[in-house]
Homo-oligomer: A and B are copies of this chain.
Amino acid sequence: MGLKVSDPLASTLVTSDVQTVRIGVLGCGNVGAAFVQLVEAQRSFVQRRTGLRLEVTRVAVRNLSAPREVELADGVLTRDSHGLVSDPDVDLVVEAIGGIEPARELILAALANGKPVVTANKELLANVGAELYAAADAAGRDLLFEAAVAGGIPIVRALRESLHGEPIRRVLGIINGTTNFILTKMTDAVESGGEADYATALAEAQRLGFAERDPTADVEGFDAGAKAAIIATLAFGAKVVAGDVYHEGISRITGAEIAIAHRLGYVVKLLGIVERDADSGEISVRVHPTMVPLQHPLASVRDSFNAVFVEGEFVDSLMFYGRGAGGAPTASAVFGDVVDAAINLRNGTHGSLGVLEPATVRAIDETSAEYLLGLDVADRPGVLHAVTGVFATHGVSIRAAEQEGNGPDARLVFITHEARESDVQATVRELRELDVVRNVGGLLRVIGD
């Protein structure tokens, strides 16, 4: 990274009462290494502005001899991560190892030792976040985690602080770069008149490093689900965990569905959606492919970019857009948290999520949406009548219907008005039994404008 930072005023403005904050970093992969570089690059800027001198004094890794992108002074590298979190030469801990254990016990130990912690670990927070937030409050230290959701995009701070009191109705997020990349490639193929194929797009994502060799966590929505749980916790002040999240991935999305969506003025995106019912207080948290109207700001979020769209009673619509992954953007988010935690440590204060309420999570069956449904049918008189009768039986109202092709290739496409998931699923089950219906295509939920 060709970083150049001019420093013309450093010598004149540095005051003598500079305090050094010594940072211990757990893990030195992409994020850890970029963070160490950022500390070097911005040390004098932060020192001039805050009077705090940031220094990385320990970096714990599993393998001391592995090649790394950063140079570290003698004595900084260690294999002893448990020693790091109790080291008297460490004031503040950055956790960049991921996974639940040993990250959890290391963070708890650091907090118990009075060290603020900055983490990028979504899996950990989505599963045992409440325990960690409580431990941070008990210790009177920061536990900050901007980088855990949407990489470099400062959505965590926005929800924690800026929108602390905003009555948030819904948050829609493109919070997984891998799936957005794959869906963008499939959409581009359709728009340029070609065939959109999931396997081809996935292979390209893997070749370019946007997808893992085993892509399950991304393409089946687990990664987005963990982030959605964290977003729901912040947006509604309630304890939502990964297990509360309903998720469907993109691996069964076909080119035909993308093409239909395109023709009807939509683009298919994998969204994390968190919603709170104003009357009951029930929270719905889900991840699934969604038809987004082309004029919606989320529709133009392409490739591996992420974006989070917030709908509030007073603030109306907000969108936050940027790089959801990658070493440098994630390190930027970690660094912002580190500066914040360092200032708070000096001032003897810390941030808090406050009291989190138990969450009442609405089952997916109880949620409502508009749906797109495609049926391969026999093209003969009475088919539309038979099919629409099934919708009517289950109280699912149709907003638009159209037929594509005819003869053996006839296909009916329906968009419903807002309907309950359970009613729509019952409709689908009964449609499958009709002898005029050859196949019921994927069910796509639609977000309104």
Residues of A whose CB lies within 8 Å of any CB of B are 1, 3-6, 8-9, 13, 34, 38, 41-42, 45-46, 48-51, 146, 152-154, 157-158, 161-167, 237, 277-281, 297, 300-301, 312-323, 326, 328-329, 331-333, 335-336, 338-340, 344, 347-349, 354-357
Selected A-B contacts with CB under 8 Å, 7 pairs = A38-B165, A45-B165, A49-B237, A161-B340, A164-B340, A315-B333, A316-B328
Which residues of chain B are within 8 angstroms of A158 by Cβ–Cβ distance? Answer: 154, 157-158
Which residues of chain B are within 8 angstroms of A312 by Cβ–Cβ distance? Answer: 332
Given A237-B49, A317-B322, A347-B349, residue A167 in contact with residue B336 (CB < 8 A): no
Q: How far is the CA of A347 from the CA of B354 in the complex (A)?
A: 13
Tell me which of B49, B165, B297, B340 contacts A336 (CB under 8 A). B165
Which residues of chain B are within 8 angstroms of A301 by Cβ–Cβ distance? Answer: 297
Beta-carbon contact of B316 and A278 below 8 Å:
no
Q: How far is the CA of A297 from the CA of B306 in the complex (A)?
A: 12
CB distance from A143 to the nearest CB of B (A): 16
Max count, chain B CB within 10 A of own CB: residue among A42, A164, A277, A340 = A164
Q: A42-B166, A318-B320, A320-B320 are in contact. List 14 more A-B contacts (CB 8 A).
A: A4-B279, A6-B278, A38-B314, A45-B165, A49-B164, A49-B354, A164-B336, A165-B332, A297-B301, A297-B321, A315-B328, A315-B333, A316-B326, A317-B323
The 7 A-B residue pairs with the shortest CB-CB distance in the complex, in nearest-first order: A154-B162, A49-B354, A315-B332, A319-B321, A318-B322, A314-B332, A152-B315
Which residues of chain B are within 8 angstroms of A34 by Cβ–Cβ distance? Answer: 314
Which residues of chain B are within 8 angstroms of A318 by Cβ–Cβ distance? Answer: 152-154, 320-323
Beta-carbon contact of B314 and A335 below 8 Å:
yes
Beta-carbon contact of B297 and A335 below 8 Å:
no
Which residues of chain B are within 8 angstroms of A146 by Cβ–Cβ distance? Answer: 162
CB distance from A309 to the nearest CB of B (A): 9
Secondary structure at the A interface, as helix, strand, loop or mixed, is mixed
Q: How far is the CA of A237 from the CA of B9 in the complex (A)?
A: 12
Which residues of chain B are within 8 angstroms of A51 by Cβ–Cβ distance? Answer: 354-355
Beta-carbon contact of B323 and A315 below 8 Å:
yes
Beta-carbon contact of B9 and A357 below 8 Å:
yes
Given A164-B336, A312-B332, A349-B347, residue A6 in contact with residue B355 (CB < 8 A): no
Tell me which of B6, B280, B332 contacts A280 (CB under 8 A). B6
Which residues of chain B are within 8 angstroms of A278 by Cβ–Cβ distance? Answer: 4-6
Beta-carbon contact of A48 and B357 below 8 Å:
yes
CB distance from A437 to the nearest CB of B (A): 39
Given A13-B355, A157-B157, A349-B349, residue A167 in contact with residue B41 (CB < 8 A): yes
Beta-carbon contact of A5 and B167 below 8 Å:
yes
Beta-carbon contact of A162 and B336 below 8 Å:
yes
Beta-carbon contact of A314 and B336 below 8 Å:
no
Given A49-B237, A158-B154, A354-B50, residue A323 in contact with residue B316 (CB < 8 A): yes
Which residues of chain B are within 8 angstroms of A329 by Cβ–Cβ distance? Answer: 314-316
CB distance from A340 to the nearest CB of B (A): 6
Beta-carbon contact of A49 and B322 below 8 Å:
no
Which residues of chain B are within 8 angstroms of A349 by Cβ–Cβ distance? Answer: 344, 347-349
Name which residue of chain B comes closest to A354, CB basis.
B49
Q: How far is the CA of A57 from the CA of B144 in the complex (A)?
A: 34
Which residues of chain B are within 8 angstroms of A326 by Cβ–Cβ distance? Answer: 316
Which residues of chain B are within 8 angstroms of A8 by Cβ–Cβ distance? Answer: 281
Which residues of chain B are within 8 angstroms of A5 by Cβ–Cβ distance? Answer: 167, 278
Which residues of chain B are within 8 angstroms of A357 by Cβ–Cβ distance? Answer: 9, 13, 48
CB distance from A295 to the nearest CB of B (A): 8
Which residues of chain B are within 8 angstroms of A157 by Cβ–Cβ distance? Answer: 157-158, 161-162
CB distance from A285 to the nearest CB of B (A): 17
CB distance from A373 to the nearest CB of B (A): 29
CB distance from A266 to the nearest CB of B (A): 16
Which residues of chain B are within 8 angstroms of A348 by Cβ–Cβ distance? Answer: 349
